[in-house]
């Protein structure tokens, strides 16, 4: 099977074709030829009319709820949402039922996703069933294909985090840290500030994040082990991380795209779809986070896709579950905000090269001989997100009716073109 993409503009800072309009010939899942104009014939020929082609996007945080919570999302609907958002790889969170604490669920994810148009990478838990006491079967999960370990949305105490970092270091695993100490924000529902005070809602201070970032940086340095911070929302956290890197600590971080798009002021209407962890911060903090991304202090941008059923969101704000579905909108939300400040290839690197470095995956390039793993998007088309754009099984999105720039056209992975 041969596929020929015509008139594709390359967005890949590591490619010699970056910024050039080319034809790309793919055969048996590999890039066979790239040139300004190709005369070869192919089984499938697609004219991209100048649209951009980037190395495939990798989402570092998405919950698919399968097995056990299939009324919120399944692997099939999650894959559809990922394609709609331009992702070719997804790190699947362990918050299924049962929790992904052993190789049985890792094998389930790997086997049931083989036929889907997305590469699903299992992320095991740090503790058994999120109990916060006993280490999960990390090495067994690693051998079965898990490439990270994370007690997503569950606080890990210092002693357990210390043991996890030391243990994972022995076999090359990457431990994710949730930078949030709930004891510093008991009952917290949103960013602590003027808006939370005016709404009468308990706040979540930036301090609750900064304390954990400092703690886990010390632990990583002590054990000479790598650590990744999942969901940075406080600018001072990036300062701590930058200082640690200068001292030789191996540390990476990502933030969710929605933090670059919304602020706590959007919660004035008590929209439960905007109740998320990390919380939407103030306009001042949002601007500082954008500045940190522009200056290269952040390794990646993720979706933090968290499906919730209607019953979990159609309640009073205090009782609503945290999370929004975000894979269909993550790239466009980030691109809308960052496009005036960054080059296209710098933005796509935050979705492609950066996440791969975090997980220690082989580098990919848009060059002949490399695997064809591509995300395809338009940079000039403005669009308004509508309910019909949702591919997730859940509908807890605050993006409906929002104008976005940078629309996903499709992906190419596993030897096939998938239209968004």
The bridge status of strand 175-177 relative to strand 227-230 is parallel
Give the pLDDT of residue 252.
98
The domains located in the chain, with CATH, are 2-52+370-419 (2.30.40.10), 57-359 (3.20.20.140)
- pLDDT, tens digit, for every residue of 56-68? 999 999 999 999 9
Banded model confidence at residue 384, pLDDT cuts 50, 70, 90: very high
Residue 197, helix vs strand vs coil:
helix
Relative orientation angle of helices 283-294 and 330-338, to the nearest 10 degrees: 90
Tell me how far apart the alpha carbons of residues 155 and 159 are, in angstroms, rounded to a whole number. 12
Q: Which residues contact 159 (CB under 8 A, 6 or more apart)?
A: none
- pLDDT, tens digit, for every residue of 242-294? 999 999 999 999 999 999 999 999 999 999 999 999 999 999 999 999 999 99
Looking at the chain, the whole-number percentage of residues with pLDDT higher than 90 is 100
The pTM for the full model equals 0.98
- pLDDT, tens digit, for every residue of 198-230? 999 999 999 999 999 999 999 999 999 999 999
Strands (E), 93-143: 119-124
Mean pLDDT calculated for residue range 399-409: 97
Query: Residue 382: beta bridge partners?
Result: 405
- pLDDT, tens digit, for every residue of 110-153? 999 999 999 999 999 999 999 999 999 999 999 999 999 999 99
Q: Which residues contact 327 (CB under 8 A, 6 or more apart)?
A: 59, 62, 78, 81, 82, 84, 85, 87, 90, 303, 305, 392
Tell me how far apart the alpha carbons of residues 196 and 204 are, in angstroms, rounded to a whole number. 9
**What tokens were used for 269?**
């209407």
Give the pLDDT of residue 381.
82
- pLDDT, tens digit, for every residue of 316-360? 999 999 999 999 999 999 999 999 999 999 999 999 999 999 999
Asked, as a colleague might, if the bond just before 98 is cis with ω within 30 of 0, I would say yes
- pLDDT, tens digit, for every residue of 352-383? 999 999 999 999 999 999 999 999 999 998 99
Banded model confidence at residue 405, pLDDT cuts 50, 70, 90: very high
Tell me how far apart the alpha carbons of residues 410 and 285 are, in angstroms, rounded to a whole number. 33
- pLDDT, tens digit, for every residue of 11-49? 999 999 999 999 999 999 999 999 999 999 999 999 999
Mean pLDDT calculated for residue range 168-174: 97
Strands (E), 170-284: 175-177, 190-191, 203-204, 227-230, 251-256
Residue 36, helix vs strand vs coil:
coil
């Amino acid at each position: 099977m041969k596929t020929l993409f015509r008139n594709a503009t390359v967005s890949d800072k590591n490619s010699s074709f970056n910024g050039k309009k080319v034809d790309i010939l793919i055969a048996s899942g590999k890039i066979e030829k790239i040139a300004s104009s190709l005369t070869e014939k192919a089984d499938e020929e697609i004219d991209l009319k100048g649209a951009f082609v980037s190395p495939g996007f990798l989402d570092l945080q998405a919950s698919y709820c399968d097995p056990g919570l299939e009324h919120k999302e399944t692997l099939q609907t999650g894959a559809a949402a990922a394609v709609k958002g331009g992702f070719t790889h997804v790190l699947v969170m362990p918050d299924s039922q049962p929790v992904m604490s052993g190789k049985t669920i890792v094998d389930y994810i790997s086997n049931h996703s083989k036929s889907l148009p997305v590469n699903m990478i299992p992320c095991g838990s740090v503790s058994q069933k999120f109990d916060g006491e006993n280490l999960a079967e990390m090495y067994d999960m690693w051998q079965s294909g898990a490439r990270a370990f994370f007690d997503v949305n569950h606080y890990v105490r210092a002693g357990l985090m210390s043991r996890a970092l030391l243990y994972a270091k022995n076999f090359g695993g990457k431990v994710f840290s949730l930078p949030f100490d709930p004891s510093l924000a008991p009952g917290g529902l949103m960013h602590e500030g003027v808006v939370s005070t005016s709404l009468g809602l308990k706040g979540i201070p930036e301090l609750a994040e900064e304390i954990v970032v400092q703690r886990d940086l010390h632990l990583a340095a002590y054990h000479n082990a790598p650590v990744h911070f999942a969901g940075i929302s406080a600018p001072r956290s990036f300062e701590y991380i930058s200082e640690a890197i200068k001292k030789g600590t191996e540390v990476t971080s990502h933030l969710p795209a929605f933090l670059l798009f919304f602020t706590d002021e959007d919660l004035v209407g008590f929209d439960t779809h905007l109740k998320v962890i990390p919380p939407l911060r103030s306009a001042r903090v949002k601007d500082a986070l954008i500045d940190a991304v522009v200056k290269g202090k952040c390794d990646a941008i993720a979706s933090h896709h968290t499906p919730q059923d209607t019953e979990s969101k159609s309640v009073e704000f205090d009782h609503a579950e945290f999370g929004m579905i975000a894979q269909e909108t993550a790239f466009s939300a980030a691109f809308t905000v960052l496009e005036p400040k960054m080059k296209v290839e710098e933005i796509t690197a935050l979705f492609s090269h950066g996440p791969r470095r975090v997980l220690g995956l082989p580098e990919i390039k848009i060059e002949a001989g490399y695997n064809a793993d591509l995300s395809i998007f338009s940079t000039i088309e403005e669009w308004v997100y509508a309910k019909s754009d949702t591919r997730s099984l859940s509908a807890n999105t605050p993006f409906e009716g929002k104008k976005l720039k940078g629309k996903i056209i499709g992906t190419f992975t596993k030897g096939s073109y998938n239209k968004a």
